[in-house]
Structures are given as structure tokens and as C-alpha cells.
Structure 1
Amino acid sequence: MSDDSDDAVETEAADAAAEDAPDAAEEAPAAEPEAQAVEEPAGDSDSEAVDGTGVAAGDDETDEDEADAEPEGLQDGDFLRVAYTARTVEGDQLVDTTDEAVAEEEGVADQGTFEPRVIVLGEGHLFPAVEDDIRGREVGETGTVEVPAADAFGEYDEAEVETVSADKIDEDDRYPGAPVQIDGQQGVLETIVGGRARVDFNHPLAGDDVAYEYELLDVVEDDLERAEGLLDMFLELDLEMWLETDEVEETRVEEPDEDSETPEESREDGDSEEQSSSSRESGQSPRTEAVDAEPETVTETVDKRTLYVESDPQLAMNQQWMMQKQQIAQQIIDLTSIDRILIQEILDGSGMGMPGMMGGMGGAGGGDVDIEEALEEADIDADEIAEEL
């Protein structure tokens, strides 16, 4: 009786376990989505983060693209044709202009050529504050900039007003307001009493703020226009010039290659085979002598882009050109694709020569001219030229 009861209990327990097993099997897969739901956000977070910084990789790529992008608008190195007028803020005194109408109104139209000028942005051809205002702008835009005195012609410095000996001033310049040059410094004579003179070496516009109004006309791409613009800016001369490509012979010294063939390599190539064979026949051991390679002079023909400039008396006597011709030429070469500059002087018997002497001493028909008369004419011409100078 008890055995049957025990069997019945075991059977019921087995049936209960069998009934619970499907429920457990159905519940087990339900746990997997919970695990996946926890893992997926973690996976997404890891894929977006870079080196644990929390910055998305896409953001890094955007920053790199922005850094690589070229800046917009006009930038340093651009050749620009600019029209501008500069005046002092106080007093409205004209400082500089490219407008001929403004020059006529101010009564200075006869003091030069007034037309838009070519400048190179970033080369200091305008005050830094003006260049800063131009960067990033586009052709056709206009602007107004106020340049502080310190960044324009400097603050007025009382220490630059000095007392000097009157002997250093030419007698013709001994009046208040006369421009004078003392020991290489340019100044303005204020007063002169007895043997002493008071000279102001400050710039005439020192202490003045300057207002610039400008218009960006166009970008200059042509090298000839660039060279013409730069020379005009430096010298204010209208010169005849043109570009040509010349074939020029250049000589250079070519240093020997450090990896040149050693004596051992020469023997391998058969260069020293005969010497080695001779040494073996005579019973002597082969000798190796190292010979230093000599530098080689090489002459080659190359193309040179040449700027030809026709000289004239104005250029020959231009103080700026005489003092800074090398620097001016080097800047033109550095800023353009021009390789060299040649100044040509044309001698055609006119200009500043001595036509009387040249005519009297000419080869054809020269015997019919009175030499003394020609010399007298030459002297008169020379005197007239001296007076003009």
C-alpha cells in the first residue's frame, strides 16, 4: 500500500516537472532579448566614440575638411588694382589719392600721375590695418578704414625736435618751414637764431590718424601688368617695357656623387683588370689607390623669362632707382614668374647728348662741319641742361 502511494507521488512529481519544463523552455528565450537590449546601446556608444574622448569620428572629419578648405576672398600674394583716397581724420588733409579729380580739387594734379595702383596684398604696400580690412573681401567691394597714428606715420615725439648748428643748413633753406636734410635725416626747419637752428625730424603727419576709403577694382594676373604696376608704385614713372623668353647659357659646378664607384667596384666592372693582371705577372700584389673625384663644370642652355625696360633720363636720375634698384628688381622677380630684368639704354643722338659734337664728329659728311662751332653749340647745350637740373 505504501509502495503504491510512493509510486503515485513520484509519478505526479514527474508529470509536474514535465509540465514545468515547456514553461521554462518558453521563458528561457525571453531572457535573450533583454541581454541584447542592454548590449546594443553599449555597442553603439563604442562605435561613435573616438579614443574614449566622446567626440564622434564624423565631427573629426568635418573639422579636418574645414581646416583643409582654402580661405575665401582675397588673400596674401594677390595682385590687386586698387583705387583709394587717404585723408587725416582731423583737418581732412589729403595724404594720398589715386583719383585725378580729387588731386585737381586739392591743387596737386601737377605733382604726379593719379590713377588706380597695383599692390600685392601682404607685402606692406598699404598700411597693415588697410590690408587686414581687405583680406577676405571680393573684387568690386569698397571699404573705409581708420588707421591710428601709431600704425600710420607714428606718434609725435618731442625728442625728435633737435637743435643743430646753422652751418649744416644751406643758406637758401634758412627759413621756417623749409625741408632740410641733416646727417641723412629729413626734417623741417622751425626756427633759426644766430648760429643755432631748431629742426623737427618727425614725419609731417606724425600724430595724425588717417582715414582710407578704397575700392577693389580687379585682380591682376598678367606678369607684364604686374611688373608695370610695381615699378610705377615704386618710381612713379611711365616706362616702356616688354617680356621676352631668351635662351641663356648658364654655367654651374656639379659636385661628384657621394655614391661614386669605389676601386673595388671598378675591379668588379673590369676597369682595373689589366692592372691586376700585370701585377700578378710581375709577382707584385695589386695596389689600390683611391682617387677623389673632381667637381665638374657644366654649361647648359636654359630659357629665361626676361623683362626688358627701356631706360630714359628720368629713370637714370631717379633717386629711388639709383639707391634701391637691386631691391626693387628682386621683389619683382620674387613676386612674379620673371627670371631677370634688363635695362636697355637707347642712344639715338637725341635727349641729353651733345648733338653739336656728335654731328661734327660723325663719319659721313663730318668734314664739312666747323669743329669749333660745334663745340660752342655743345657748351651752350650743356649750360642749358645744367640750368634745367
Structure 2
Amino acid sequence: MSDQEQADAAEDADEAETEEPAGLADGDFVRIAYTIRTTDDDQVIDTTDESVAEEADIDTEDHEFEPRVITLGAGHVFPSVDEAFIGAEVGDEGVVDVPAEDAFGAYDPDEVETVKADKIPEDSRYPGAQVQIDNQQGYLETIIGGRARVDFNHPLAGEDLEYEYEILEAIDDREEQAAGMLGIYLQEAPEVRIETVTEEEETISEDDDGEEVVETEDVEKDVLYVTATQAMQMNQQWMFQKQQIAQDLMGRLDLDRVVVEEVIEGGGMGGLGGMMGGMGGGGAGDIEDALEDVDVDADEIMDEIDEE
């Protein structure tokens, strides 16, 4: 091999080392379509395809069937599915076998307990009812006399699964990424927007004489604004984990702040009378203050009120 050929080979090797790995990587956002079935009996347990849900006799009335945005490596899919997506390309499709231990866990007979029947509401005392006992979610197996057997295993514990998927597109827009992440937690994606705001920040330092010097500078910050829906406000995961969810959003999307905006819609002035009379106001001082804004003699009206 000539010197030139050796130099070319070395250059090619250097390029290969510095070349970024092909395919999707940990932290990438992708939109996927999927259907999850049990391996043993081919039962559909989750899908983004409405026609598949209808064929499986799944109630479609209160569900949105559309592809989901997920983040690779964030625990949004089963670990074995995550592994299949790393290095894959947009457009890839396939089926991943998910063992029970990698899905909803192995079935544990010790999680089936006998409890007093009076711990279960009367309208839930039938086999298959979902019950909550001592902050544990379970399913009623049998109830005889004053005793009930409750299975606290996940309903799909011990089930091997098949995860059929298609990777539709990579998501680079941060607003779409944010909506997609929130959709994972909330089962529906709320309206979001990201704005860059300029804020003044103070820094304190010491001069040569040891005196404190306060300086201000303009700092740009990226803020995610989330429009809170009624369903979001009632969502238990959001209610109890909003701080962790916000931290996850800020960390993955390089945001400085998350602001949740509550929107109250409606019209008319019908509620003002109740406000003046029933929400801690309604005294003479409130009326007098209100009358200062209109062209009437406030003192005269207040005298008439006192006379009554």
C-alpha cells in the first residue's frame, strides 16, 4: 500500500470514528402507532388504531385513538421496546416480544388476600369489581359471607405481550415535544406554547474596597405555558406529581420554567349580585367604594341606606 493509500485509509478511519451513530438515540422524540396484545390469547390491551379497538370490542366513545409522541429512554414504553427503538429509523415497523417481567410483572400469589367484606362498598361486592382497600387497588375474586378474596396483582400480571409498532416521524419542535410528554402523563395533550421572556437578574459582588456591588443584567428564559383543562385538574397523577412532571419537562426540553394557566370560560354578569352579597363583601364600605366610580352622590345614597 502506497503512502497516499495509507493516508486515505487513516482519514476514512478517523471519519468513521467521529461519525454520529445512525438511527434514533436515547432522548429522541418520536411519534409512533402501536397495538399491544397478550401473547396467549391475542387480546388487545392498548392501541392507537380505532378500527383495531372496534374489532376488539373496546369502548371507543371516551378515548382518543391517534399516534403518540414518546421520548426514548424516558420510560414511556416497556424497556424491551425502548431497546428496539434505539438505532431504528423513521418508517421502521415490527413486533417486540415483551416478557411478563418486563411488562406488568410476574403474578404473585401472595398478593391475593382475604379481607373482611365490610371493607368493600355494597355496590362493589361482586366478582371482578375493582376495589380499593387500605390504599391498595385490587379486584374482587370471591365473596362468601363476611369474607372476601381480593387480588392485588395488576390485571395483566404474568402476561407476556406483543408490541406491534410503526415509527412514523421524529419530533423536533419543542412545543410538540412538550405536548407529547404531557399527553403521556395525562392521556390527552393539552394546549401549550413556549415563549422566550427577558427578566432582570441581580448579581452581588464586592469591589476593591470590599463593598457590596449590586448589578443587574437582562437574562432570556424559555418558559412553557400549559393551558389547564378540567380533565387535567382532576387527573390524580397530575395532582400528586405535577412537580416531578414539570422538572422532567424542564430537564428534557431545556426550559427554565413551567407555567400552568387556568382558563375560566363563561359570559354575562349574572354572578355579580351573589359576589357582593355572599362572598365576604356586601357591607356599606364596599358599596361606598363602588359608588365612587360612578356619577352619583355617594354620601346621599349612603344616608338613605343608614335610614332604612
Q: Do Structure 1 and Structure 2 share a fold, with TM-score over 0.5?
A: yes
Partner Cα distance (1:238, 1:229) in 2: 6
Q: Match of 1:303, as an amino acid?
A: E
- Residue 181 of structure 2 aligns to a residue whose secondary structure is helix
5+ residue gaps, structure 1: 1-55, 267-292, 364-389
**How far off its partner does 1:166 sit?**
2.3
Q: Match of 2:165, as an amino acid?
A: Y
Partner Cα distance (1:309, 1:171) in 2: 41
Q: Match of 1:199, as an amino acid?
A: V
Residue 21 of structure 2 is aligned to residue 71 of structure 1: yes
Residue 142 of structure 2 is aligned to residue 191 of structure 1: yes
Q: How is 1:140-219 mapped onto 2 (pairs within 5 angstroms)?
A: 140-219=91-170
Partner of 1:336: 253
Residue 208 of structure 2 is aligned to residue 312 of structure 1: no
**How far off its partner does 1:357 sit?**
6.2
- Residue 109 of structure 1 aligns to a residue whose secondary structure is coil
Partner Cα distance (1:225, 1:348) in 2: 25
Q: Match of 2:50, as an amino acid?
A: E
Partner Cα distance (1:155, 1:294) in 2: 66
Residue 275 of structure 2 is aligned to residue 358 of structure 1: no
Q: Match of 2:60, as an amino acid?
A: A
Q: How many residues align?
A: 272
- Residue 222 of structure 2 aligns to a residue whose secondary structure is strand
Pair 298,205 (structure 1): closer, same or farther in 2 beyond 3 Å: farther
RMSD of equivalent CA atoms: 2.9
Pair 58,114 (structure 1): closer, same or farther in 2 beyond 3 Å: same
TM-score, structure 2 length as denominator? 0.78
In our comparison, the structure showing a higher alpha carbon Rg is: 1
| CA offsets 1:98-144 (integer angstroms, 9 cap, x no match) | 11211222232124211100111111111111111111111111111
| CA offsets 1:210-232 (integer angstroms, 9 cap, x no match) | 00110010100000010111111
| CA offsets 1:4-46 (integer angstroms, 9 cap, x no match) | xxxxxxxxxxxxxxxxxxxxxxxxxxxxxxxxxxxxxxxxxxx
Partner of 1:288: none
TM-score, structure 1 length as denominator? 0.63
Partner Cα distance (2:37, 2:154) in 1: 15
5+ residue gaps, structure 2: 1-5, 277-308
Residue 55 of structure 2 is aligned to residue 105 of structure 1: yes
Partner Cα distance (1:246, 1:234) in 2: 27
Partner Cα distance (2:30, 2:260) in 1: 26
Partner Cα distance (1:330, 1:294) in 2: 37
Q: Match of 1:319, as an amino acid?
A: Q
Q: Of residues 37, 42, 46 in structure 2, which corresponds to 1:87?
A: 37
Partner Cα distance (2:15, 2:194) in 1: 41
Higher relative contact order (CA closer than 8 Å, sequence separation 6+): 2
Would the aligned equivalents of 1:223 and 1:338 in 2 still touch at CA under 8 Å?
no
Structure that is richer in strand per residue: 2
Partner Cα distance (2:133, 2:11) in 1: 63
Percent identity, please.
Answer: 51
Deviates more, 1:310-319 or 1:210-219: 310-319
Structure that is richer in helix per residue: 1
